[in-house]
Amino acid sequence: MDTQTLIYIFVGLSFALYIGIAIWSRAGSTKEFYVAGGGVNPVVNGMATAADWMSAASFISMAGLIAFLGYDASVYLMGWTGGYVLLALLLAPYLRKFGQFTVPDFIGTRYYSKTARVVAVICLIFISFTYIAGQMRGVGIVFSRFLDVPITLGVIIGMGIVFVYAVLGGMKGITYTQVAQYCVLIFAYMVPAFFLSFMITGNPIPQIGLGSTVDDGSGQYVLQKLNLVLSDLGFGNYTDGSKSMIDVFCITLALMVGTAGLPHVIVRFFTVPKASDARKSAGWALVFIALLYTTAPAVGAFARLNFIDTVNETSYSEAPGWFKNWERNDLIAFQDKNNDGVMQYRSGDAFEGAPEFAEGTGPSGERVVTNAPVTDSENEVYVDRDIMVLANPEIGNLPGWVIALVAAGGLAAALSTAAGLLLVISSSVSHDLLKSTFKPNISEKGELLAARVAATAAIVVAGYLGIYPPGWVAQVVAFAFGLAAASLFPAIFMGIFSKSMNKEGAIAGMVVGLVFTFGYIFYFKLMNPAANVAGNWLFGISPEGIGVVGMVLNFAVAIAISKVTASPPVEIRKLVDSIRVPRGAGDAHAH
């Protein structure tokens, strides 16, 4: 059976499974739509949380960034895993004990203010749409290559599938769908990693393979060989970083704190029966997440070695089949600058900006490049970093069923997170804006309809952002974490741990944090990308790490304003105590 047929079978079967689960577990009430009825087992919830958490950025883009950035990409590994520990220990159990449906629910009640709730909804929508743009872009990349359609059409197909199971099933359907998606995505990630590790080092365990010698008789370690190969081609050493210490610190912290403020992950902890189960499911989720995250550095390193071996100094007419496959979808390209028909992969840009293609052929048979003038660089090969994990099995000549499995896994990763984000957007509109703020008398049926309409509108916007994304998948996702760190995290943290924080302080802090961080990212990534260099950044902090400054501003403004405005009411102080003190400790606490 050929690879393309296997891809259709694997992807088709996985989609049939997801949609079947959504129909089987269709939400019949708002509690089932928002928090799956609140009775999910901690192990099951841990697996669903891991799928929700490990998005297209984790599955598709992170190893690609590690492959091309080397040491500099370690910030993503440290920030995302460290943030999960922060969330599990610091926030999840307390929010579960509070016992509401959404993050704006917590903020609106804790800060005794409809305005605070609305501001939280606005922050949440900014974060979720930024995040979901990365997911839809990931879906588009997978579909464009494996179903051989343009990226735009790939995004539209993905929108349709998410619509079916997110709008029908709600949180109940999504929880059980995500368990299936976790199984698909982790299997799809690990199988090629085992193959590649065994091929390159003779050791099938990728975590050990990364520290082993290359199985080519040279006696060199994997990272040692990568350093030598890359320095020969004009790149920096793979194990050396180019980022400043402050930028590494800020990106890592923004990703960590942003994790702890991510609404679609926090809402998962409302689906378990009690607060102790929230801690357990966070622990299980960390185990399930660590499987992929400890494998990603090895996958990135093996991918870069394989890519250089199969592309550099290869005649274009004899280019491997995978190169031509990805070239058809404009995600890899060759521009023959010296007309010798041989692909030179070197440091520097092959094109000015991303290449755009027109039909026609160059002197070596390559596709003609338009609107992409030749640069001074000797590099002739452009590669989209987001394709590396998906292309890995083809580059390594792995069997067709492995390629098909990776296609299904990439879609599972992107779609599971997209569905979780859509649910957060729809529930914040229907529950927090309508039911709790503007239309308190709306019926349960009306609220459920509003949630589904909001999810539909969100899918359309998400699709547009997926077609026109502001960066690589992992970069776009990093911006969402920065926005979460700067806006929601301080309000949630102070809401749990500070009895003196009042509504005026929380609202002002959220607004200042969000406006500053979004403005900074918007300026450098969309308005004036040419200025996006270290010399122009505030304190040398890149847009990916600026959420830390936004967070500090949020805390500073909130604390300053709470000092000069009225203290929270007595019942709110009691609420904060009741969230933090374990059940059964009331008498001891009273003394």
The Cα-based distances of 463 to 17, 127, 358 in angstroms read 23, 16, 25
What pLDDT, on a 0 to 100 scale, did the predictor assign at position 590?
42
Domain boundary among 374, 392, 410: 392
Do residues 360 and 414 share a domain?
A: no
Within a domain: 337: yes
Do residues 229 and 372 share a domain?
A: no
Domain boundary among 368, 392, 416: 392
187-219 as b/e: b if 16+ CB within 10 A: ebbbbbbbbbbebbbebeebeebbebbbeeeee
Do residues 238 and 150 share a domain?
A: yes
**335-340: long-range contacts (C-beta < 8 A, 24 or more apart)?**
335/362, 335/366, 335/369, 335/372, 335/374, 335/380, 335/382, 336/362, 336/363, 336/364, 336/366, 336/380, 337/374, 337/378, 337/380, 338/380, 339/363, 339/364, 340/364
Do residues 573 and 475 share a domain?
A: yes
What pLDDT, on a 0 to 100 scale, did the predictor assign at position 581?
67
Residue 100: domain span: 3-303+396-580
Backbone angles phi, psi at 164, to 5 degrees: -60, -50
Do residues 326 and 447 share a domain?
A: no
Do residues 533 and 481 share a domain?
A: yes
Q: What is the mean pLDDT of each run of 10 residues along the chain (591 residues)?
A: 83 80 62 51 80 74 83 83 77 72 78 86 79 75 76 81 65 69 84 88 88 84 88 84 86 84 68 70 84 89 88 85 80 81 83 65 66 69 82 84 83 72 75 72 77 80 75 64 87 88 92 91 78 82 89 94 89 82 46 38
Render pLDDT for 330-349 as a digit per residue (tens, 0 to 9).
Answer: 778 888 777 788 888 888 77
Do residues 336 and 463 share a domain?
A: no
The Cα-based distances of 510 to 397, 489, 547 in angstroms read 50, 9, 12
Within a domain: 585: no
What pLDDT, on a 0 to 100 scale, did the predictor assign at position 548?
92
Do residues 124 and 251 share a domain?
A: yes
In total, how many domains does the chain have?
A: 2
pTM, to two decimals: 0.78
What pLDDT, on a 0 to 100 scale, did the predictor assign at position 509?
94
What pLDDT, on a 0 to 100 scale, did the predictor assign at position 30?
53
CATH assignment of the domain containing 14: 1.20.1730.10
Tell which phi-psi region holds residue 330, choosing left (phi > 0), alpha (psi between -120 and 50) or beta: left
